[in-house]
């Protein structure tokens, strides 16, 4: 079995009310950790949120053997040991609790219980957790999932600027800014997509 996600990584945030750091040694950062984990931080609500999205493939290198898709969030002031909950998109049941520990450009993700459908990709329940390396700074405020079956993307935060692009239920998005009931999102798929969607289409809701 070929594991393509072994070194894919988690993204994290800056601390308290200070501006997010970009490329500063010793500080935790929001953004992408090797394309698998996205991490966001909202200084107003003190919420750290993120998602994990990875796949492993069978012997043919094409058939998906296992997927690990999780959201996580917590209210954090100390990013060296931030308590979080893991859960499946659009499911209120918590899969596990755990922590994120940040050390400069590294992030370690630890779960208190085995997350079975992720176990063959990431062993979050090991005594040392699973380490991730910082990849790309992005000023994410929140990470969320789409809760409707089909959600239209708009060029501007107005109903008259609809595009042909849309997202589907359980897609993960990273939020860069908000405006009067709208959010500007980044979606990473076969290509990166940016645009506005209505805030009401997100799960869980934004504080």
Tens-place pLDDT, residues 13-34: 333 333 333 333 334 689 999 9
Q: Which residue has the higher pLDDT, 178 or 27?
A: 178
Residue 58: the pLDDT is 62
Residue 60: the pLDDT is 66
Mean pLDDT of 107-125: 93
**pLDDT at residue 170 greater than cutoff 50:** yes
Q: What is the dihedral of CA 149, 71, 42, 176, to 10 degrees?
A: -50
207 pLDDT tier (thresholds 50, 70, 90): confident
Domains of the chain from N-terminus onward:
31-137 (no CATH), 144-203 (2.30.30.40)
Q: Which pLDDT tens digit goes with each residue over 67-100?
A: 999 999 999 988 888 999 999 999 888 999 999 9
Residue 61: the pLDDT is 64
Element (H, E) at 177: strand 172-179
Beta strands across the sheet bearing 182-188: 162-168, 150-154, 192-198, 182-188, 172-179, 142-146, 202-203
Q: Which residue has the higher pLDDT, 123 or 9?
A: 123
Between CA 11 and CA 123 the distance in angstroms is: 17
Q: Which residue has the higher pLDDT, 22 or 41?
A: 41
Contact between residue 140 and residue 40 where contact means Cβ atoms under 8 Å apart: yes
Q: Which residue has the higher pLDDT, 57 or 5?
A: 57
């Amino acid at each position: 079995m070929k594991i393509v996600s072994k070194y894919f990584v988690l993204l994290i945030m800056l601390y308290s009310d200070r501006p997010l750091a970009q490329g500063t040694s010793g500080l935790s950062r929001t953004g992408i950790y090797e394309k698998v984990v996205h991490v966001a931080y909202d200084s107003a609500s003190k919420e750290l949120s993120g998602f994990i999205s990875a796949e492993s493939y069978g012997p043919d290198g094409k058939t998906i053997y296992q997927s690990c898709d999780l959201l996580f969030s917590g209210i954090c002031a100390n990013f060296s040991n931030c308590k979080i909950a893991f859960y499946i998109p659009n499911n209120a049941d918590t899969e596990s609790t755990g922590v994120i520990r940040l050390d400069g450009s590294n992030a370690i993700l630890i779960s208190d219980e085995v997350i079975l459908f992720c176990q063959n990709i990431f062993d979050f329940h090991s005594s040392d957790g699973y380490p991730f390396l910082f990849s790309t700074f992005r000023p994410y405020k929140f990470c969320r999932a789409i809760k409707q079956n089909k959600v239209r993307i708009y060029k501007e935060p107005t109903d008259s600027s609809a595009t042909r692009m849309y997202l589907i239920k359980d897609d993960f998005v990273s939020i860069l800014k908000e405006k009067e009931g709208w959010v500007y999102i980044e979606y990473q798929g076969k290509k990166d997509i940016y645009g506005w969607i209505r805030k009401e289409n997100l799960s869980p809701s934004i504080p």
